Amino acid sequence: MVPEDRSLDDRAYDLFGEMLLQQETAALLAEIEAEKARGDTAEMDAFFAKQDAKNLDVIQRHFRRHRARVFFRETLPRIGQIAAIVIAVVAVAGSVAIATSHTLRVQVMQLLVNIEEEYTELKLQEDPAASFDIPAEWGGENYPSFIPDSMVAGMVFSYPDSNSVELIDKRTGAVKGQFSEYGADTEVNIDSEDAVQEPVMIGLNAGYLVKKGNRLSLYWDNGRKYFILMVSDLEKDATVRIAESIVRIK
């Protein structure tokens, strides 16, 4: 009995195969009766073997067509789905690789001194604790080696005479600040209306801290470039520490 849940196409192919088989069988029976009437059993046996092969080929062709239909209707779509999943996995892996490749490692070296009786050996070696990452897109000469744990570098804006990087809150994803480096050909204004300004020292360089509400703006220079660090909801000490961590990377 043919299952009721089979498609109309499947039933049609099965019926076509049965009709072919019936036609071949009828022809075979007619030939057998004719051979019996003539009494030539040797020729009948040869013909019977030939018809067996023909009938087997008809049946095999029928099942090959059935398997082809199953392949194109069921197996091939599943293979396509599997391929899509594999491509998606590769895409995800590729995106991770791209994301992690957007930073460059800045090696901070330290001098190792080994004093022996006859000589003193000097050599430079990377200080892993002091080394840090910078965005690969950063085009400036200087970059902060310290950023608070609550923040991470975000979007970078690089131009021939100015470079800026956003500081993003890790928890909320909101922009909480920005560090910028400018050259002699760039002029910038800072909002200092109704703000409190006080002088600060960033290493050996003089600067000013501008406080307005919950926002701090710190600006200073190193004789080659000038810098502006703007942050929100960050203490003065942490802000100054970011500024003091600026190092030359080029």
d(CA 32, CA 43): 10
- Global confidence as pTM: 0.54
Instruction: Decide if pLDDT at 92 tops 50.
Output: no
Quote the DSSP letter at residue 107. P
Amino acid in the structure at residue 108: V
What mean pLDDT value characterizes the chain?
75
Instruction: Decide if pLDDT at 75 tops 50.
Output: no
d(CA 68, CA 54): 21
197 CB neighbour count, 10 Å cutoff: 14
Q: What are the phi and psi torsion angles at 140 (to 5°)? A: -80, 175
Convert the pLDDT of each residue in 14-45 to its tens digit: 665 666 666 666 776 777 677 666 665 565 56
12 CB neighbour count, 10 Å cutoff: 10
SS3 assignment, position 174: coil
Q: Residue for token digits 């970011």? A: 242
Q: How confident is the model at residue 88 (pLDDT cuts 50, 70, 90)?
A: very low
Instruction: Decide if pLDDT at 214 tops 80.
Output: yes
Alpha helix (H) residue ranges in 8-75 = 8-38, 41-70
Is residue 179 classed exposed, middle or buried when 0-12, 13-18 and 19+ CB atoms within 10 A define those classes? buried
Instruction: Decide if pLDDT at 150 tops 80.
Output: yes
d(CA 143, CA 180): 9
d(CA 112, CA 115): 10
SS3 assignment, position 118: coil
Instruction: Decide if pLDDT at 226 tops 50.
Output: yes
Rounded to the nearest 10 degrees, what angle do helices 8-38 and 41-70 cross at? Answer: 170
SS3 assignment, position 63: helix
Tell me which of 2 and 201 has the higher pLDDT: 201
